[in-house]
C-alpha cells in the first residue's frame, strides 16, 4: 500500500493477492492493526505529505504527490491527524529554522 500512494486504494486487488474476499481482508487487517486498510492508507499518505512539507517546504507538492484531490482534502485529513492544517504546519517548520 505504501508504494502506490498516488492512486486509489483497490481492496479487491489487494485481498485477492492474499486469497481472501475483500471483507475477510478488512476484518483481518483491522484485527491485526487496530485500524481499517483505508485509514492505514490515509495515514501513509499523511506521513509522506508531512515529510514533503518538512523537506521541500511545498504544500501543493504534497497534495499532488500524495494523491490528495485538492488542498481541502489534504487539510481535512491533516488536521484530523496532526491538529493543524498543512500551511500552519509549514509555518511552524519554517519558524524552527
0.75 cut: is pTM over it? yes
All structural domains of the chain: 9-96 (1.10.10.60)
Give 20-77 pLDDT, tens digit per residue: 999 999 999 999 999 999 999 999 999 999 999 999 999 999 999 999 999 999 999 9
Q: Stretch 68-89: mean pLDDT, rounded?
A: 97
What are the phi and psi torsion angles at 80 (to 5°)? -60, -40
> Nearest-CA neighbor of 42 among 14, 69, 15, 60?
69
Amino acid at each position: 500500500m505504501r508504494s502506490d500512494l498516488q492512486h486509489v486504494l483497490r481492496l479487491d486487488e489487494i485481498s485477492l493477492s492474499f486469497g481472501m474476499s475483500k471483507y475477510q481482508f478488512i476484518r483481518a487487517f483491522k484485527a491485526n492493526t487496530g485500524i481499517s486498510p483505508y485509514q492505514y492508507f490515509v495515514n501513509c499518505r499523511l506521513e509522506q505529505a508531512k515529510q514533503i512539507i518538512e523537506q521541500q517546504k511545498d504544500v501543493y507538492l504534497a497534495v499532488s504527490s500524495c494523491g490528495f484531490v485538492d488542498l481541502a482534502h489534504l487539510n481535512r485529513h491533516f488536521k484530523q491527524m496532526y491538529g493543524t492544517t498543512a500551511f500552519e504546519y509549514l509555518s511552524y517548520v519554517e519558524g524552527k529554522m
